[in-house]
Structure 1
Amino acid sequence: MKSRTLIFILGFFLVALLTSQELGAYEEVAGEKGGVAEFKVYMPEHDFGYVYGDTIVIKAEIVTRGKILLNKEKLSLRRMKINDWLDIRVILDKAKETGNRNIYRLTIEYRIFYASFETSVIEIPEYRLSFSDKERTFFVYIPLYSATVSPLATREEAENLMISPLVAPQEPDTKYFFFSLAIFAVSASLLFSFVLTHYLYIYVRLRRNSVFGVALNQLNNVNSLKEAMLITHRAINSYAGCACFRSEIGSFIKDHPEFENVRSELERFFTLSEEIFFSQKIFSAGEEEIAGLRSLLQKMRICETKERRGHAF
């Protein structure tokens, strides 16, 4: 019986020894506030040798009395960013709430996102834990912690090594951005105005210099069919650059493909012209024929505009 008791005592001390060795890697900071019966924080034993991507782990154990409970919804259970070089995640290892004595064990992980060319000191801010009962709310703070972050590259000279302060990255100056944006907007407006003016100039020039447009205006003041035919002939000859007859319609359209759509109207026009000028037939005022000539000139003006626009651009 005594041997069993001795073995049990030795086993108990062995477990206690192993536990103390595991927690020996942390520094204990004890405190008490309000309804907090016990508050222990276990800091890392080494505060140096960290590099980009490493994780600093701090553990805490809190015991409260009565109905004072930890506000677990206030914990950073999801990884979140603290500043430009740290993020945090809190793991609730244990939460035993009995009503008289409540025990909480937390693991706080800080991941480093700071890479420097010199050895730097990084400071971990206080972390606030919120406790409350039905009447009040109070806070307990995990204390500040500082650690040394090593450079990614090895220095060639280690003499007179100085630890540089941690410098937050500077935000870009938006003044130059908006200045560049304003220059771009002004340049785009000027370019758009130039292109628009160019197109308007070409459009007006085409309208004013249209051979068939001028003929169409002249035709509005004519009642004689023969005079209307002569105006139409002069417009076609002027655009073709020579006298044009029915036998030369194919050559005209070959030189001016845009007029293919009015080939049949041109053939009817030249047939009518031969009947008027080379036959003995007597024609009346020919209001219907003049309307047909006006329609032909309108279509030819459209073809002329398309052709000249293609040459202009």
Structure 2
Amino acid sequence: MSVSAAPVAILGTGSFVPDRVVSNTEAGAHAGVDDAWIVRKTAIRERRWARPGQATSDLATGAARNALRSAGITADQLSTIVVATSTPDHKQPATAVFVHQNLGGATTGVAAFDVNAVCAGFSFALDVAHGMIAKSGGYGLVIGADLYSQILDPADRKTVILFGDGAGAAVIGPAGPERGIRRSVFHMYSDMSDLVVVPAGGSRQPYAPAVHEAGLQYFSMEGRTVRDFIVNTVPGLVKEFLHECEVLPADITHLVPHQANGRMLEELWSRLDLPGATLHRTVGEFGNVGAASVPLTLDQAARSGALRPGDRVLLLGMGGGFSVSLALIDW
């Protein structure tokens, strides 16, 4: 858990998605499911998939530039770049290195690195950058970016219909006492680490011909088990977190959750006691974009004018591991 040592706030947001729009008909073709089935199960109507040659860092850079523009900050003012992703450009170096390179004006005196908490990763990255900025000053660029289309099995209807590609970003820096990143908390359920996996490609199971024959290079998820866990466990975690923050549920103005599945969000929302909050959703248009879901949705809310000074924004991340992240923002 982290508590702010100095006022640090989100100063601007940005997002970026590929221009290729993929319909449910296209996404479900090899999995044997149609548009009506996908909408009924997920509330997703389309998603964006990257074009050949487009990598995670390209999406992250696009979101970063938009966030810098929103904040009125230039790249040479950055002291920290943190990218949350589970689909990096390469095993090494970090995807943040390529964002730093692409921004051009960023100086060499920048800490640039990645974190991986799968779909919960943005709040992890935000908390790390927050701590660094609160301690040392400067401005931080926090990005959630994922390109899942390259690791989906076209025949697996449990996954191929859910995921899109995209990136969201936030610039953080010094702020007055009335706004800021108020508190973050994280939960890890490592006994559920086998529910959301890409089995091959790491040191445990390196790439080999047999890996590809078995399809172990693809993303795999036990969706029903994950869904049941989230709707049964997360409401209690939210209640506990708000109690620790000394904030009443009725005082939350906005909920920005990970966009895992539209139907799951509906069920989760019905179990959360947030009577004064607006639930922000982008899943219908963009699908599940992994670590990008929370910042992309936050940016959409900010640019629509929905977020106003003094609003209390609750960020909720849920990802493989199994990890849950919560962050309270005074906008």
TM-score class normalised by the smaller sequence: under 0.3
Higher gyration radius (CA): 1
Using the size of structure 1 for normalisation, the TM-score is 0.21
Using the size of structure 2 for normalisation, the TM-score is 0.20
Larger RCO (CA under 8 A, 6+ residues apart): 2
Quick check: which one's helix share is greater? 1
